[in-house]
């Protein structure tokens, strides 16, 4: 069965609106990092504090530079496009620049934007649309190997870690596929399933469809979604976990995060040993021999010394590889994963 | 914000197609048990083994008896209406009998049926349609009291137990509302949210919307959905659990069930003490003082003596009220719930 597929024509302009911080500009940062050769520039509202570091462009400059597609590079809670972004999107579409977004609000449901795009011939691509006819999950064990990212919260580096693990497996000539579960991952990989946009009854079925039977030595590296500890999205995460039947999980964490973001109560991030125990207890319902292959931590707000101390202590306490996927790389996690599977 | 609401005109005809067993005829059995005064008859294909015990009717007999609405009384995996049921549904609609169903397949998406209904003036009601504009869950603690049913599998008596607990609270003049989360519950109560039809990102938000802030002494009695131990639907259940923030859970179980039904692997139902521990561990993420108020077991395949022995031993081991909601009633669970909240 076909997955959600996207074919976006480069070069890209990353549109950021007035997104308040880097955590909410995940799509823009992800595209710029993993597909730099395809990204020509960025566009923001004047008050936007986030800077991806690409050339700033007006609509005219983007058109002049040959930009073919503007990607809405943000991931707000609830996935809505704010009304005050729409005039710029219409201006882009009117200039013949196609637009892609991964929001629950669909570009194709915005009449003025549709009219502008129709007139200029620009394409509107909604990436967060699951494929039709997803079956109910069935829980049958599958062949091939799988590793799934599990976050202590949203926006802690699950996608980055998955792509880094995938790249490391490819570097070692081990057959592997990155399996995208969110809009950014799908734009990077060209296909996947936006798991949080699937109807609830079919979450596990979508996860089963995303990583089907495969060769025994093949790894599916599955991007995570949400978090078991986030009261808004835990259902998405458990459905993905049970449907993925991972041989291994990698716990992803932000060292500066002590509380779950954007919720209305007291939701501390549990200690990482507890996180691993709870996650494995749930994971083993569909994959009895599932193990944790390591912890991937965003330590970007630490000094080098702080990072070394933090990761060293964590590794000592957990007896598992603990890395910063950017600063130290994920190689130790891949080693552990391949050794213990 | 409005919930999914349905206004079905009685009397009802319960349509069963050729559903293979009672577990899959939950909607029909539920309507006949909880709204007997509204149910005039049943209609089946010749080979259907399920008998609800209502007068058997042809289309002509139903029309003659003044039946206003035929309710598709089944709940198959995946929620599809089989093609070979459609001719009878069209015949009903052509006779001016409205049709209601709670499937993922929508009646209003079946052109021939729509045409027949349009011609006769019959209404087509799709009950499994969530309300629009469900927000993302936020996790803020809410006022009022809540009890949620959690099943060891699907089709183990969650809805029955919830309705029985609700009735018992009303009998004691304790303010209470039954909160329906599935199609049958919604047809019985007239409103609710079909939680398994909500887009995955919004499961917890839907649960929060379903049981909003209320008076301190008011109980929301929330029907469960799916099961944390069912690899097909666990995500739905966890989202509902976290969004409901229950003060108490009631574990629902079928004493004759040792394996999860309709899955492709080895999925034993865990021991009930383990079920309770795991459920409370997850529940306490959003309601730290959540407790288990008892276990409600379908023991219909046991003799009276077997039942007494089974429930007695269970109660001794768990130190919690253990009942069969039909044979013994849920009063001990309600007592425990009110005492310990």
Contacts of B70 (CB under 8 A, 6+ apart): B12, B13, B14, B15, B43, B62, B89, B92, B97, B98, B99, B100
Whether chain B has a CB inside 8 Å of the CB on A243: the answer is yes
- Helix (H) or strand (E) holding B93, with range, is helix B86-94
- pLDDT value for A80: 84
How many Cβ atoms from other residues are within 10 Å of residue A145's Cβ?
23
Same domain, B278 and B199: yes
Whether chain B has a CB inside 8 Å of the CB on A193: the answer is no
- pLDDT value for B119: 97
- pLDDT value for B2: 86
Whether chain B has a CB inside 8 Å of the CB on A231: the answer is yes
The per-residue pLDDT for range A35-56, each reduced to its tens digit, is 999 999 999 999 999 999 999 9
- Helix (H) or strand (E) holding A239, with range, is helix A234-244
- pLDDT value for B79: 76
- pLDDT value for B104: 84
Q: How high is the mean pLDDT of chain B?
A: 96
- A104 pLDDT above the threshold of 90: no
Q: Which residues of A touch B132 (CB under 8 A)?
A: none
- pLDDT value for B76: 73
- A102 pLDDT above the threshold of 80: yes
Average pLDDT rounded to a whole number, residues A183-211? 96
Q: Domain for residue A58, yes or no?
A: yes
Nearest-angstrom CA–CA distance, B112 and B74: 21
| High-pLDDT (> 70) share of chain B, % | 99
- pLDDT value for A105: 85
> Where does residue B97 fall: left (phi above 0), alpha (psi -120 to 50 degrees), or beta otherwise?
beta
Same domain, B294 and B166: yes
Nearest-angstrom CA–CA distance, B108 and A88: 38
Angle at A22 between CA A20 and CA A26, to 5 degrees: 115
Chain A residue with Cα closest to B199? A199
- B114 pLDDT above the threshold of 90: yes
Q: Give A176-224 as a DSSP string.
A: EEEEB-SHHHHHHHSEE--GGGSBGGGHHHHHHHHS----TT-EEEE--
Q: Which residues of A touch B237 (CB under 8 A)?
A: 235
A69 versus A80: the higher-pLDDT residue is: A69
Average pLDDT rounded to a whole number, residues A321-332? 97
Q: Domain for residue A220, yes or no?
A: yes
Task: For residue A75, name the pLDDT band (cuts at 50, 70, 90).
Answer: confident
Let me know how many helices (H) and strands (E) chain A has, helices first: 11, 13
The per-residue pLDDT for range A134-147, each reduced to its tens digit, is 999 999 999 999 99
Nearest-angstrom CA–CA distance, B217 and A312: 51
Q: Domain for residue A312, yes or no?
A: yes
Q: Contact A333/A171 with Cβ under 8 angstroms?
A: no
How many folded domains does chain A comprise? 2
Sheet strand arrangement including A12-17? A39-44, A12-17, A69-72, A98-101, A124-126
Half-sphere exposure (CA, 13 Å, Cβ side) for B37?
0
- pLDDT value for A126: 94
B231–A240: do the CB atoms touch at under 8 Å?
A: no
Whether chain B has a CB inside 8 Å of the CB on A196: the answer is yes
**What residues are paired with A145 via a beta bridge?**
A219
In this complex, which of B200, B231, B281 lies closest to A139 when CB atoms are compared?
Answer: B231
- pLDDT value for A50: 95
> Where does residue A336 fall: left (phi above 0), alpha (psi -120 to 50 degrees), or beta otherwise?
alpha
Worst-scoring range by mean pLDDT, A79-88, A194-203, B237-246?
Answer: A79-88
Residue B219, domain CATH? 3.40.50.300
Chain B residue with Cα closest to A195? B200
Q: Contact B251/B150 with Cβ under 8 angstroms?
A: yes
Task: For residue B105, name the pLDDT band (cuts at 50, 70, 90).
Answer: confident
Same domain, B120 and B173: no
Task: For residue B95, name the pLDDT band (cuts at 50, 70, 90).
Answer: very high
| Residue B85 DSSP class | G
Structure tokens at A301: 């707000």
Supply the range of the domain harboring residue A73: 4-126
Same domain, B164 and B207: yes
- B108 pLDDT above the threshold of 80: yes
Average pLDDT rounded to a whole number, residues A188-213? 97
Q: State the Cα torsion A228-A230-A234-A237 to the nearest 10°.
A: -60
Same domain, B300 and B173: yes
Same domain, A216 and A67: no
B199–A198: do the CB atoms touch at under 8 Å?
A: yes
- A236 pLDDT above the threshold of 80: yes
Whether chain B has a CB inside 8 Å of the CB on A256: the answer is no
Q: How high is the mean pLDDT of chain A?
A: 96
Nearest-angstrom CA–CA distance, B164 and B299: 16
- pLDDT value for A12: 97
Q: What was the ipTM of the complex prediction?
A: 0.94
Whether chain A has a CB inside 8 Å of the CB on B65: the answer is no
Same domain, B97 and B239: no
Worst-scoring range by mean pLDDT, A259-263, B103-107, B292-296, B308-312?
Answer: B103-107
Residue A12, domain CATH? 3.40.50.720
Contacts of A5 (CB under 8 A, 6+ apart): A190, A191
Same domain, B93 and B173: no
Chain A residue with Cα closest to B244? A231
Same domain, A107 and A191: no
């Amino acid at each position: 069965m076909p997955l959600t597929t996207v074919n976006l024509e480069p070069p890209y302009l990353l549109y950021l609106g007035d997104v308040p911080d880097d955590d909410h500009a995940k799509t823009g940062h992800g595209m710029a990092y993993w597909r730099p050769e395809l990204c020509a520039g960025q566009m923001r509202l004047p008050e936007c504090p986030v800077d991806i570091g690409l050339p700033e462009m007006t609509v005219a400059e983007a058109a002049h530079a040959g930009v073919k597609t503007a990607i809405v590079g943000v991931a707000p809670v609830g996935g809505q496009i704010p009304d005050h972004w729409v005039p710029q999107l219409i201006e882009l579409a009117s200039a013949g620049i196609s637009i892609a977004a991964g929001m629950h609000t669909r570009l194709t449901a915005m009449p003025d934007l549709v009219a502008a795009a129709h007139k200029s011939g620009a394409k509107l691509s909604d990436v967060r649309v699951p494929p039709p006819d997803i079956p109910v999950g069935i829980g049958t064990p599958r062949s091939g190997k799988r590793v799934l990212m599990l976050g202590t919260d949203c926006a802690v580096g699950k996608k980055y870690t998955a792509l880094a693990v995938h790249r490391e497996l490819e570097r070692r000539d081990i057959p592997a596929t990155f399996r995208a579960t969110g809009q950014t991952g799908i734009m990077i990989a060209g296909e996947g399933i936006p798991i949080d946009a699937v109807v609830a009854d079919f979450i596990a079925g979508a996860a089963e469809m995303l990583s089907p039977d495969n060769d025994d030595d093949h790894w599916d590296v599955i991007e995570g979604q949400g978090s078991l500890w986030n009261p808004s999205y835990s259902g998405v995460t458990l459905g993905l976990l049970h449907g993925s039947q991972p041989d291994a999980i990698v716990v992803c964490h932000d060292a500066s995060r002590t509380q779950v973001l954007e919720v209305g109560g007291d939701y501390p991030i549990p200690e990482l040993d507890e996180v691993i125990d709870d996650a494995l207890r749930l994971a083993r319902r569909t994959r009895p021999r599932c193990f944790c292959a390591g912890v991937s931590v965003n330590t970007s707000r630490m000094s080098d010394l702080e990072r070394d101390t933090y990761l060293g202590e964590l590794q000592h306490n957990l007896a598992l590889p603990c890395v910063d996927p950017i600063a130290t790389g994920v190689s130790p996690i891949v080693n552990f994963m391949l050794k213990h599977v």
